[in-house]
Amino acid sequence: MIVHIQIPNSATTFNLAVIRWYNFKYRDERWLFKYNCPLLTLLDDYQCIPIEVISSLIHVVPRFGKENEHFVNSFLF
């Protein structure tokens, strides 16, 4: 989600993105990657960050048939 905040009676504006974070599914290095892609789990952590600090985009794909498991599609970019 992208949010535009403008302070009344001021020229100050903020363009923010609401980010939901991922982390590695397993701590064991043998299970960090599957099919050469990072295996992730979706966290309940959200954060608002300025759009200007986003350095790159990633493509996250759910691992179908599994509960809260996702891949970063490293073959897209």
Closest CA to 22 of 48, 58, 74, 50: 58
Give every CB contact of residue 72 below 8 A, 6+ residues apart in sequence: 37, 38, 40, 58, 59, 60, 61
Residues 57 and 64 sit within 8 Å (Cβ to Cβ): no
Average pLDDT on 45-73 reads 84
Query: Which amino acid appears at position 52 of this protein?
Result: E
Bigger pLDDT: 28 vs 40: 40
> What's the pLDDT score for residue 32?
65
What's the predicted TM-score (pTM) here? Answer: 0.59
Q: What is the DSSP letter of 28?
A: S
> What's the pLDDT score for residue 30?
63
Average pLDDT on 23-36 reads 70
Structure confidence at residue 1 as a pLDDT band (50, 70, 90): low
Q: Check whether 64 has a pLDDT greater than 70.
A: yes
